[in-house]
């Protein structure tokens, strides 16, 4: 704060925070900026590179109405999907982490299901088509796994992003005295993928991770049972 942009900003100006970070950090930044008379707009984004280009990313805005209204034009120019979350900076970050933990859970589930289908000898394209038109469908599963089963793991969304976001989401849940059964499990899968050297790959590479590790685990189980 002593050497950053805030030092050069005038009282009454605003900082727009769009990254996915800890809600507590947003609150800390907002408090420190307020001491300088600078306003904070907590506005994380979701939607990926394609939606960023066409201006349709979800923008989750938390700030007082008196801060939002003077900057409405800029905010609405950035995105056609603006959600007013609350007047409290930090709630935008909380909403983004709730979204991203579900995205992480859905992606791990989709990768596991497709790895299972591959081990069963099913045609993966047909299986994914069935899922897309049935109760197992998820947007992130379709988006990532269609590329992954074709062997395309060039990063559109680096594995490290959901590795970070699921970790932050689980911690935010614990800060709110909540612990669910799936969030930590998804976090651990992304952590394992990064530990296995997949950090720079698309997060759809979870398909390969779970296909390979599922085969290893099955072989180990068979060996330990004497089969």
pLDDT digits (tens, 9 = 90+) for 148-179: 999 999 999 999 999 999 999 999 999 999 99
3-state secondary structure of 61: strand
What does the mean pLDDT of the chain come to? 92
Q: How confident is the model at residue 2 (pLDDT cuts 50, 70, 90)?
A: low
Answer for the pair 163, 199: CB distance below 8 angstroms, yes or no. yes
216 Cβ contact partners less than 8 Å away, ≥ 6 residues apart: none
Q: Assess if CATH 2.60.40.350 describes domain 5-89.
A: no
* Domain parsing of the chain, residue ranges: 5-89, 94-224
Answer for the pair 124, 118: CB distance below 8 angstroms, yes or no. yes
Q: Is pLDDT of 138 > 90?
A: yes
Q: Is pLDDT of 227 > 60?
A: no
20-39 b/e with 16+ CB inside 10 Å = b?
bbbbeebbebbeebeeeebb
Q: Is 164 a catalytic residue?
A: no
Query: What CA–CA distance (Å, rounded) separates 63 from 2?
Result: 24
pLDDT (mean) for 174-193 = 97
3-state secondary structure of 45: strand
Q: Is pLDDT of 214 > 90?
A: no
Catalytic, out of 96, 164, 208, 227: 96
**Angle at which helices 183-195 and 206-224 pack, to 10 degrees?**
100
| Structure-token pair, residue 128 | 């994914």
Of 1.10.1040.10, 3.40.50.1220, 3.30.230.10, 3.90.45.10, the CATH number of 94-224 is 1.10.1040.10
| Structure-token pair, residue 178 | 């909540």
pLDDT (mean) for 33-44 = 96
- Which conformational region is residue 12 in: left (phi greater than 0), alpha (psi within -120 to 50 degrees), or beta? left
Q: How confident is the model at residue 68 (pLDDT cuts 50, 70, 90)?
A: very high
**Angle at which helices 159-175 and 23-35 pack, to 10 degrees?**
80
């Amino acid at each position: 704060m002593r050497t950053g942009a805030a030092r050069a900003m005038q009282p009454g100006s605003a900082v727009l925070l769009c990254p996915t970070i800890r809600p507590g950090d947003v609150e800390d930044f907002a408090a420190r900026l307020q001491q300088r008379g600078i306003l904070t707009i907590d506005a994380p984004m979701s939607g990926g590179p394609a939606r960023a280009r066409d201006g349709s990313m979800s923008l989750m805005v938390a700030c007082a109405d008196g801060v939002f209204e003077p900057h409405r034009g800029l905010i609405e120019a950035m995105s056609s999907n603006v959600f007013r979350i609350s007047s409290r900076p930090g709630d935008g970050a909380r909403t983004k982490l709730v979204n991203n933990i579900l995205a992480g859970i859905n992606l791990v589930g989709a990768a596991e299901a497709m790895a299972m289908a591959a081990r069963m000898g099913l045609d993966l394209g047909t299986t994914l088509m069935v899922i897309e038109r049935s109760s197992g469908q998820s947007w992130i599963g379709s988006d990532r796994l269609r590329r992954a089963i074709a062997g395309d793991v060039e990063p559109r969304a680096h594995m490290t992003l959901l590795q970070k976001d699921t970790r932050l989401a689980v911690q935010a849940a614990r800060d709110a005295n909540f612990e669910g059964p799936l969030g930590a499990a998804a976090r651990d899968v992304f952590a394992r993928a990064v530990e296995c050297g997949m950090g720079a790959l698309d997060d759809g590479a979870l398909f390969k991770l779970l296909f390979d590790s599922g085969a290893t685990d099955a072989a180990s189980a068979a060996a330990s049972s004497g089969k």
